[in-house]
Amino acid sequence: MKKLFTAAVLSSVLLVNAAFANKNENVNTQVENAFKQEFTQAKEVSWQKTDAYYKATFKLNGETVNAYYTAEGEMLGIIHNILSTQLPINLQTSLRKEYENYWITELFEFSRPDSNGYYITIQNADQVITLQSTNGSSWSTYSKSKKQ
Protein backbone atom coordinates (compact mmCIF):
# COMPACT_ATOMS: atom_id res chain seq x y z
CA MET A 1 0.00 0.00 0.00
CA LYS A 2 2.74 2.43 0.94
CA LYS A 3 4.69 1.79 -2.25
CA LEU A 4 1.55 2.18 -4.33
CA PHE A 5 0.77 5.37 -2.47
CA THR A 6 4.24 6.77 -3.08
CA ALA A 7 3.96 6.17 -6.80
CA ALA A 8 0.40 7.49 -6.94
CA VAL A 9 1.08 10.64 -4.96
CA LEU A 10 4.29 11.46 -6.74
CA SER A 11 2.57 10.99 -10.09
CA SER A 12 -0.33 13.16 -9.07
CA VAL A 13 1.91 15.91 -7.73
CA LEU A 14 4.40 15.80 -10.57
CA LEU A 15 1.81 15.55 -13.32
CA VAL A 16 -0.81 17.70 -11.55
CA ASN A 17 -3.61 15.36 -12.48
CA ALA A 18 -5.00 14.30 -9.13
CA ALA A 19 -8.66 13.48 -9.48
CA PHE A 20 -10.05 14.81 -6.26
CA ALA A 21 -13.71 15.19 -5.60
CA ASN A 22 -15.15 18.20 -3.76
CA LYS A 23 -13.14 20.16 -1.26
CA ASN A 24 -14.10 20.07 2.42
CA GLU A 25 -15.22 16.47 2.41
CA ASN A 26 -16.19 14.97 5.72
CA VAL A 27 -13.66 12.56 7.10
CA ASN A 28 -14.26 9.68 9.47
CA THR A 29 -13.24 9.96 13.12
CA GLN A 30 -10.23 7.69 12.74
CA VAL A 31 -8.68 9.89 10.09
CA GLU A 32 -9.57 13.10 11.89
CA ASN A 33 -8.12 11.86 15.20
CA ALA A 34 -4.93 10.65 13.55
CA PHE A 35 -4.52 14.03 11.88
CA LYS A 36 -5.13 16.01 15.07
CA GLN A 37 -2.66 13.84 16.95
CA GLU A 38 0.05 14.40 14.35
CA PHE A 39 -0.52 18.09 13.64
CA THR A 40 -1.54 19.69 16.89
CA GLN A 41 -0.98 23.23 15.56
CA ALA A 42 -2.62 22.81 12.14
CA LYS A 43 -4.83 25.66 10.97
CA GLU A 44 -7.28 26.20 8.10
CA VAL A 45 -7.74 22.47 7.52
CA SER A 46 -9.71 21.25 4.50
CA TRP A 47 -10.18 17.68 3.26
CA GLN A 48 -10.41 16.03 -0.13
CA LYS A 49 -10.93 12.38 -0.95
CA THR A 50 -10.02 9.97 -3.74
CA ASP A 51 -10.90 6.28 -3.95
CA ALA A 52 -7.55 5.45 -2.38
CA TYR A 53 -6.85 8.07 0.27
CA TYR A 54 -7.79 11.29 2.06
CA LYS A 55 -5.82 14.49 1.60
CA ALA A 56 -5.73 17.25 4.21
CA THR A 57 -4.59 20.72 3.15
CA PHE A 58 -3.65 22.99 6.04
CA LYS A 59 -1.32 25.64 7.40
CA LEU A 60 1.47 24.63 9.74
CA ASN A 61 3.83 27.26 11.07
CA GLY A 62 2.67 29.58 8.28
CA GLU A 63 3.40 27.05 5.50
CA THR A 64 0.83 25.26 3.34
CA VAL A 65 1.11 21.51 3.75
CA ASN A 66 -0.75 18.46 2.36
CA ALA A 67 -1.00 15.25 4.41
CA TYR A 68 -2.36 11.95 3.06
CA TYR A 69 -4.20 9.26 5.04
CA THR A 70 -5.83 5.90 4.45
CA ALA A 71 -9.49 5.52 5.45
CA GLU A 72 -8.19 3.69 8.56
CA GLY A 73 -6.25 6.76 9.70
CA GLU A 74 -2.78 5.60 8.70
CA MET A 75 -0.65 8.56 7.69
CA LEU A 76 0.91 7.85 4.31
CA GLY A 77 2.89 10.99 3.65
CA ILE A 78 3.22 14.74 3.62
CA ILE A 79 3.88 17.05 0.68
CA HIS A 80 5.26 20.52 1.29
CA ASN A 81 6.24 22.88 -1.54
CA ILE A 82 9.45 24.70 -0.72
CA LEU A 83 11.89 27.22 -2.18
CA SER A 84 15.33 26.15 -3.35
CA THR A 85 16.85 28.13 -0.47
CA GLN A 86 15.03 25.81 1.93
CA LEU A 87 16.93 22.79 0.59
CA PRO A 88 19.81 21.44 2.68
CA ILE A 89 22.97 23.22 1.56
CA ASN A 90 24.58 20.11 0.02
CA LEU A 91 21.59 19.70 -2.28
CA GLN A 92 21.76 23.37 -3.28
CA THR A 93 25.46 23.21 -4.12
CA SER A 94 25.05 19.96 -6.01
CA LEU A 95 22.32 21.50 -8.17
CA ARG A 96 24.47 24.53 -8.90
CA LYS A 97 27.44 22.38 -9.84
CA GLU A 98 25.75 19.69 -11.89
CA TYR A 99 22.71 21.43 -13.36
CA GLU A 100 23.91 24.98 -13.78
CA ASN A 101 21.97 25.68 -16.98
CA TYR A 102 18.65 24.30 -15.81
CA TRP A 103 15.77 26.13 -14.21
CA ILE A 104 13.48 24.82 -11.50
CA THR A 105 9.82 24.20 -12.29
CA GLU A 106 8.79 22.23 -9.20
CA LEU A 107 10.25 21.51 -5.78
CA PHE A 108 8.70 19.80 -2.81
CA GLU A 109 9.56 17.95 0.35
CA PHE A 110 7.98 14.50 0.57
CA SER A 111 7.89 13.06 4.08
CA ARG A 112 6.62 9.70 5.23
CA PRO A 113 6.35 8.62 8.85
CA ASP A 114 9.85 7.12 8.75
CA SER A 115 11.68 9.13 6.12
CA ASN A 116 12.10 12.50 4.52
CA GLY A 117 12.97 13.30 0.91
CA TYR A 118 13.05 16.03 -1.70
CA TYR A 119 11.85 16.01 -5.32
CA ILE A 120 12.82 18.66 -7.82
CA THR A 121 11.87 19.04 -11.47
CA ILE A 122 14.32 21.03 -13.57
CA GLN A 123 14.49 21.70 -17.27
CA ASN A 124 16.58 23.25 -19.97
CA ALA A 125 15.83 23.80 -23.66
CA ASP A 126 16.08 20.08 -24.40
CA GLN A 127 14.92 18.01 -21.48
CA VAL A 128 12.98 17.75 -18.26
CA ILE A 129 14.54 15.94 -15.31
CA THR A 130 13.07 15.03 -11.94
CA LEU A 131 15.63 14.37 -9.24
CA GLN A 132 15.07 12.85 -5.83
CA SER A 133 17.05 12.92 -2.61
CA THR A 134 16.26 10.60 0.24
CA ASN A 135 19.34 11.37 2.34
CA GLY A 136 19.43 15.17 2.19
CA SER A 137 22.96 15.02 0.81
CA SER A 138 22.85 13.95 -2.83
CA TRP A 139 20.47 13.69 -5.79
CA SER A 140 19.57 10.74 -7.97
CA THR A 141 17.53 10.78 -11.16
CA TYR A 142 13.86 9.91 -10.67
CA SER A 143 12.79 10.49 -14.29
CA LYS A 144 14.10 12.12 -17.43
CA SER A 145 12.38 13.03 -20.68
CA LYS A 146 13.16 14.92 -23.84
CA LYS A 147 11.05 17.92 -24.69
CA GLN A 148 8.76 17.45 -27.71
By CB under 8 A, residue 90 contacts other proteins = yes
CB of 2 to other proteins, least distance (A): 14
Give the pairing of strands 63-69 and 103-112.
unpaired
By CB under 8 A, residue 76 contacts other proteins = no
Q: Return the amino acid letter for 94.
A: S
Chosen residue from 22, 85, 101, 140 binding other proteins by CB under 8 A: 85
Residues 94-123 that bind other proteins (CB under 8 A): 96-97, 109, 111, 113-116
How many Cβ atoms from other residues are within 10 Å of residue 30's Cβ?
Answer: 14
By CB under 8 A, residue 44 contacts other proteins = no
Q: CA 30 to CA 75: how far, in whole Å?
A: 11
Judged on CB neighbours under 10 Å (0-12, 13-18, 19+), 118 is: buried
In the complex, which residues of this chain contact other proteins (CB under 8 A)?
38-41, 60-63, 65, 78, 80, 85-86, 88-90, 92-93, 96-97, 109, 111, 113-116, 135-137
